[in-house]
A = this chain, B = another copy of it.
Amino acid sequence: MAQASIANSEFDRDTAVTLREEGVYDAELSAGWTIFGAVNGGYLLAVVGRALGDALPHPDPFSVSAHYLSASGPGRAVIRVQTVRSGRTLSTGQASLFQYTEDGTEVERIRVLASYGDLDALSDDVRTTAKPPAIPPIEHCLGSEDGPAPIPGSAAITERLRLKLDPATCGWAVGAPSGKGEMRAWFELADGRDADPVSLLLAVDALPPTAFELGIKGWVPTVELTTHVRCRPAPGPLRVSIVTRNLAGGFLEEDAEIWDSADRLVAQSRQLALVPRG
């Protein structure tokens, strides 16, 4: 499939922000990135990440910490950005995304602290003991088009992604969850656009929740999500691996790693999420 350019990428179009005045950006959250009617938290973060990248002196997200305050819906949004500190290597910013009630009152959806830098300025020094996730070849993994839908059909976001799940983490889709808090997938944007640092903010939160493989159904709302982008991703499909080790007291963590086609660890994230009751 031909790669999308910026002009025809639905991801770029749907995460676009427009400068209204210094530090204030308008955006339109697209209904295309919803799950059960709520806007996906990773997509939301990518929209905020675009505004931060425009406002800060450095272009790339290095560390982005988001606290989720209320569920977002499709429609108009405004992002207010503050530059907290401008340094040589890194700059730090703060951003909030608001939507509107019927009478026009602003309601805050997400608040973000972020440190931005320049990924192209990093040294080539790599000393890692991390290993890419064990995931079968993409042709042996399962998408929503492969029979018993591994991703609920009610999620519009499935049409925006080429998500191919490891069959070992698909048990939940046929009523046989593995009992392990693991989810692995090949990830590409459906429009064929290659991954960039901002799209990694989407990718860390775009797989079905690990809770599904623990036999838990329903929405698992994110409390906090921090993503570290460690390297500019190479073209080609990404591998995303998410692990939950501790479900306790009604909360769980999701630890995500993203690896690119050059076998580089390009992003790490952790989120704290609320387990649905019952």
Question: Which A residues form the contact surface with B (CB < 8 A)?
Answer: 62-63, 65, 67, 69-70, 84-85, 89-90, 92, 94, 108, 111-115, 119, 122-130, 180-181, 214, 223-224, 226, 228, 230-231, 245-251, 253, 264-265, 268, 270, 272, 274
A122 touches B250 (CB 8 A): yes
A63 touches B111 (CB 8 A): no
Residues of B within 8 A of A251 (CB): 62, 122, 228, 230
Contacts A89-B274, A224-B63 given; does A231 touch B249 at CB 8 Å: yes
B124 touches A249 (CB 8 A): yes
A248 touches B265 (CB 8 A): yes
Residues of B within 8 A of A122 (CB): 248-251
- Of B62, B124, B223, B265, the residue contacting A90 (CB under 8 A) is B223
Copies of this protein, total = 2
| Complex Cα spacing A70 to B112, Å | 19
Name the residue in A92, A127, A253 with the highest tally of chain B Cβ atoms < 10 Å from its Cβ.
A127
| Complex Cα spacing A111 to B67, Å | 14
B130 touches A111 (CB 8 A): no
B246 touches A268 (CB 8 A): yes
Residues of B within 8 A of A89 (CB): 274
29 contacts between A and B (CB under 8 A): A62-B251, A63-B272, A65-B65, A65-B226, A67-B84, A69-B84, A69-B85, A70-B85, A84-B108, A84-B111, A92-B111, A94-B111, A111-B113, A113-B224, A119-B249, A125-B247, A125-B248, A125-B249, A126-B247, A127-B248, A129-B245, A224-B226, A226-B226, A228-B251, A230-B251, A231-B248, A231-B249, A245-B265, A246-B265
| Complex Cα spacing A7 to B226, Å | 36
Residues of B within 8 A of A181 (CB): 129
Residues of B within 8 A of A274 (CB): 89
In the complex, what residue of chain B is closest to A230 when comparing beta carbons?
Answer: B248
Residues of B within 8 A of A228 (CB): 224, 251, 253, 270, 272
Residues of B within 8 A of A248 (CB): 122, 125-128, 230-231, 264-265
Residues of B within 8 A of A125 (CB): 247-250
Known contacts A63-B272, A85-B108, A253-B268; can you find 19 more A-B pairs with CB under 8 A?
Answer: A62-B251, A65-B224, A67-B84, A67-B114, A69-B85, A84-B111, A92-B111, A94-B111, A122-B248, A125-B247, A126-B248, A128-B245, A128-B247, A224-B226, A226-B226, A228-B270, A230-B246, A246-B265, A248-B265
